[in-house]
Amino acid sequence: MSDPPADILRRLTPIPTYTDHPTTTPHDIVGVAPDGTPLHIDVVEAAAPALLLFLSAACLGCRDLWEGLPELHAGLAGAARLVVVTRSPGEESPEAITALAGDAPGAAGIDLVMSSTAYRDYRVGGPPFLTVAAADGVRTESVAWGLEQTLGTALASLPDSPHDSPHDSPHDAPHDSPHDSPHGE
């Protein structure tokens, strides 16, 4: 390979985990903050959709997303709230998560919750992964590849977003999905 990894990542297209529309049911997220404070993130009864961004401290593909949290939040322009979800303490280091998130959760108004249950509820195989969930259902779910692709995929699923491109995005194309398999594979 002669291309730098960042150039390769920019050329990747997120692959949705569904055909036609997502079948995952929205769930509230129950977990803890990195400091151990119990958290409940309302999704089912929330007035606005949430971009759930599933990240990990050990995920190299997550680094630009961790670094770009304020930019991602700003790019949503109020169309959805940004919730970063990691696995629970014991599976993730709260100290590493705090170091990667920096002051973005407090300063930018980004929610950060550690919840392995949310990974199961939203059928996340591994990070980086995104789900846009609202009270009326899950609108999209996909691998989260970089800031631009992640923001574009999220905005394309939000009808009142500042996204100015057509609604035919890569996540609208039919793809085979592990969720479509009768064996759950």
pLDDT mean across residues, the chain: 81
Q: pLDDT tens, 149-172?
A: 999 999 999 876 555 443 333 333
Q: pLDDT digits over 27-78, tens only?
A: 999 999 999 999 999 999 999 999 999 999 999 999 999 999 999 999 999 9
- Measured in whole angstroms, how far is the alpha carbon of residue 76 from the centre of its chain? 13
Could you give the domains of the chain?
29-156 (3.40.30.10)
The token pair at 54 is 């599933």
Query: What pLDDT is attached to residue 168?
Result: 39
Q: How far apart are CA 64 and CA 74, in angstroms?
A: 15
19 vs 157: which has the higher pLDDT: 157
pLDDT of residue 60: 92
* Position 24 pLDDT exceeds 60: yes
Look-up: residue for tokens 């039919």? 174
